[in-house]
Amino acid sequence: MSQEQTQRPHLVTKAELIKDVLRITREEDARDLHAVDVEVVLDALAEACAARLAAGDDVTLPGIGRLKVKARAARMVRNPRTGEPMSLPPKRGVTFNAGKKLLGRIE
């Protein structure tokens, strides 16, 4: 395998995302946003999405995609160490479907 195939993509941190948002808004809108303002909005967005998902709603993020709660049924699995069968309880998870605009940007 080549080195390109083994490298993981860079995980963008919250601080880097805030810097990107500030740079883009300053270039496009000439607004005087501060990093604290962007951080408050990101935190509020995360909280609002979590609350809506917990209530069973789907969340559409315009230009990005959709978050949706998916129920997973109980199932039997094997303990990898012992090989003993064990049951996993039902649970809910979150899925993300990228929107057309986002998919068009990464192709």
Reading the chain (107 residues) residue by residue, the pLDDT tens digits are 455 567 888 899 999 999 999 998 887 766 678 899 999 999 999 999 999 999 999 999 999 999 999 999 999 999 999 999 999 999 999 999 999 999 999 88
CA distances to 5, 22, 69 from 49, rounded to whole Å, are 34, 22, 11
Best CA proximity match to 70, nearest among 91, 98, 47 = 91
Measure the N-to-C terminal CA separation of the chain; round to a whole number of Å.
23
Query: Whole-prediction pTM value?
Result: 0.74
For the chain, how many residues are written?
107
**What pLDDT is attached to residue 2?**
53
Q: What is the pLDDT of residue 40?
A: 95
Q: Determine the pLDDT at residue 27.
A: 79
Q: What is the pLDDT of residue 4?
A: 55
CA atoms within 13 A on the CB side of 80: 0
88 vs 98: CA distance, rounded Å: 29
Instruction: Say which DSSP state 57 is in.
Output: -
Structure tokens at 101: 């605009």
Please give the Cα distance from 26 to 86 (Å, whole number).
54
Answer for the pair 92, 98: CB distance below 8 angstroms, yes or no.
no
